[in-house]
Amino acid sequence: ASASSSNYIKNIMIEDLNTGKVNTIVTRFPPEPNGYLHIGHAKSICLNFELADEFGGRTHLRFDDTNPVKEDEEFVRSIQEDVKWLGFEWEQLYFASDFFDEMYERALRLIRKGKAYVCDLTAEQIRETRGTLTQPGQESPYRNRSVEENLDLFERMHKGEYANGEKVLRAKIDMASPNINLRDPVLYRIAHAHHHNTGDKWCIYPMYDYAHPLEDAIEGVTHSVCTLEFADHRPLYDWVVQECEMENVPRQYEFNRLSLTNTVMSKRKLKLLVDEKVVDGWDDPRMPTISGLRRKGYTPEAIRTFCREVGVVKTNNSVVDEKMLEHFIREDLKLKVPRTMAVLQPLKVVITNYPEGQVEMLDAENNPENEAMGHRQIPFSREIYIERDDFMEEPVKGYFRLFPGNEVRLKHAYFIKCENVIKDADGNITELHCTYDPETKSGSGFTGRKVKGTIHWVEATQAVPAEFRLYEPLILDEQAEEGDSFLDNINPKSLETVQGFVENNMRGAKPQDKFQFFRHGYFNVDSKHWAEGRPVFNRIVSLKSSFDP
């Protein structure tokens, strides 16, 4: 895989290699294990792995596990699975928490240099004294503690002598800096909490802005890419690397965060959808998570192409239309999957002039756009199912499918003509009686007359009962990511489940098997609800495309 389209980070790498600033490109993907990965992460994963790969460099997977309260082993496991599934291999696997000792040592060094101090202000007081864009902050009354006192207090923080929130370690930079991030940011906080990797060894934890540059430097990362909201943090990133006297000097570059229409991506919001049981888990096919997209039927190839095409810029964050993602899965599956028939809302049809008890096998090509996929045999007999809405008792203008007296083509089979409509006592249509014309067999070269409609069908005695899960966007607001009202805009029709039939040759379909069902779109066998001999299909995407990139 290569990042074919140009982007500004790639140009920087070319420049850095040309000028000899770096010899090898080293990137990292640094998720916090506090949720499942989503399509936004995929963009970052593709960017990091594909760029390093293109220049013969390497990429690390690093768990940014500096916040014990929200992190979990389940997330560590799922993140690795998802990165691998996308098709990437990390050169090294790191946990930021493996570097806690070194980070602590570096903090002591900052204190000795007079560049950090222990502060007793509460989180709220720190916020209140930070100032604003137009007002400088106020210096903490603890700012001028001696090095000895700071060393002593920090060690006691480390030993667990204080409660959560009682003290923090702050960088001593500049309370009047125009960049608020440089106004004595907090480097360490106290959290008496069990950590998934380090257990109870630590009760002080480094803040992101302190930990991240150190992790990058320790690992020898050359280009540390992150999303745009960290651009203002870059001076602090550089300050930490310099003042901690790191040997390797990584550089931070920012790129635009990906959002999709009609969904949310923030892990906090995704977690709410899971916790509130709006969806059936992180891998619900309506979720924009990698595992949700996989369960729905997306392929790694489609996701990677999408991520490459959405583009990397250093200006505005983009809200990308979901339809663009759909475009790439259609493109990917078009030539890869067999085109078969499924009836989602069955209506029985009896072909009255077809011999009773007879079953013939008809030839059907698997993919007219890919001859290499070959042919299959499908049964045909006196009883078949067609789609309920392929029949109208009183046809509207322009309706060319089945109605009393009208003739249509059955895909891969014969012309049939509707002779009789059978109803129950309440007037509901229970079945249709039709006749077929043996002359019109598909592939026979029949040209005697034409029909306007072609419909799909499934032979009734061998049909396999199947469930179909049809999806619509989870949230009815295109700009769902903005604000917090997404829970009020959940689409009540985001999942519709129907019971129908598929061709008998799909009896053995297994999770992740994909098909194009004639006229219905692309489907994937669901891995959670699947049972042997009774497939459950998720619709990945319908056939129609209203998006043209």
**Of 125, 129, 198, 266, the one binding ligand ATP by CB under 6 A:** 266
Q: How far apart are CA 386 and CA 436, in angstroms?
A: 14
Q: How far apart are CA 178 and CA 180, in angstroms?
A: 6
Residue 153 falls in which region: left (phi positive, over 0), alpha (psi -120 to 50) or beta:
alpha
Q: How far is the CB of 34 from Mg ion (least distance, A)?
A: 6
Cβ pair 362, 442 in contact under 8 A:
yes
Using CB under 6 A as the criterion, what x/- string covers residues 211-250 for binding ligand ATP?
---------------xx-----------------------
Helix pair angle (234-243, 208-219), 10° resolution: 60
Binding region for ligand ATP (CB under 6 A) out of 38-46, 83-91, 185-193, 424-432: 38-46
Q: Is 106 a catalytic residue?
A: no
Q: Given 145, 170, 257, 539, which residue is catalytic?
A: 257
Q: How far apart are CA 25 and CA 13, in angstroms?
A: 7
Q: Given 267, 382, 514, 539, which residue is catalytic?
A: 267
Dihedral, 351, 354, 360, 364 alpha carbons, nearest 10: -40
Which one of Mg ion, ligand ATP, none is in contact with 540 (Cβ closer than 5 to 8 A by kind)?
Answer: none
| 208 in a labelled binding site | yes
Residue entry with tokens 């060690």: 155
Q: How far apart are CA 432 and CA 421, in angstroms?
A: 5
Burial string for 504-517 (b: 16+ CB within 10 Å, else e) reads bbbeebeeebbbbb
Q: How far is the CB of 45 from ligand ATP (least distance, A)?
A: 8
Contacts of 241 (CB under 8 A, 6+ apart): 213, 214, 216, 217, 249, 250
**Of 267, 294, 295, 514, the one binding ligand ATP by CB under 6 A:** 267
Cβ pair 526, 511 in contact under 8 A:
yes
Minimum CB distance to Mg ion smaller for 32 or for 149? 32
> Which residues sit at the interface with Mg ion, rule CB under 5 A?
32
Binding region for ligand ATP (CB under 6 A) out of 190-198, 263-271, 395-403, 432-440: 263-271
**Of 36, 40, 213, 215, the one binding ligand ATP by CB under 6 A:** 40
Q: Is 229 a catalytic residue?
A: no
Q: Is 382 a catalytic residue?
A: no
Q: How far is the CB of 32 from Mg ion (least distance, A)?
A: 5
| 510 in a labelled binding site | no
Burial string for 221-257 (b: 16+ CB within 10 Å, else e) reads bbbbbbeeebeebbebbebbbebbebeeebbbbbbbb
Minimum CB distance to ligand ATP smaller for 289 or for 299? 289
Return the structure tokens found at 34. 């506090």
Q: How far is the CB of 350 from ligand ATP (least distance, A)?
A: 54
Return the structure tokens found at 214. 């150190």
How many Å separate Cα 232 from the centre of its chain? 27
| 35 in a labelled binding site | no
Q: How far is the CB of 233 from ligand ATP (least distance, A)?
A: 12
Return the structure tokens found at 469. 């899960």
**Of 51, 173, 241, 265, the one binding ligand ATP by CB under 6 A:** 265
| 183 in a labelled binding site | no
Residue 199 falls in which region: left (phi positive, over 0), alpha (psi -120 to 50) or beta:
left
| 212 in a labelled binding site | no
| 115 in a labelled binding site | no
Minimum CB distance to Mg ion smaller for 266 or for 318? 266
The reply to whether 32 sits near ligand ATP by the rule CB under 6 A is yes
Which one of Mg ion, ligand ATP, none is in contact with 31 (Cβ closer than 5 to 8 A by kind)?
Answer: ligand ATP
| 43 in a labelled binding site | yes
Cβ pair 468, 535 in contact under 8 A:
no
Residues carrying an active site annotation = 32, 257, 267
- Which residues participate in the annotated binding site? 32-34, 38-44, 64, 208, 227, 257-258, 265-267
- Which residues participate in the annotated binding site for L-glutamine? 64, 208
Residues in contact with ligand ATP by CB under 6 A are 30-32, 40-41, 43-44, 64, 226-227, 257-258, 265-267
- Which residues participate in the annotated binding site for ATP? 32-34, 38-44, 227, 257-258, 265-267
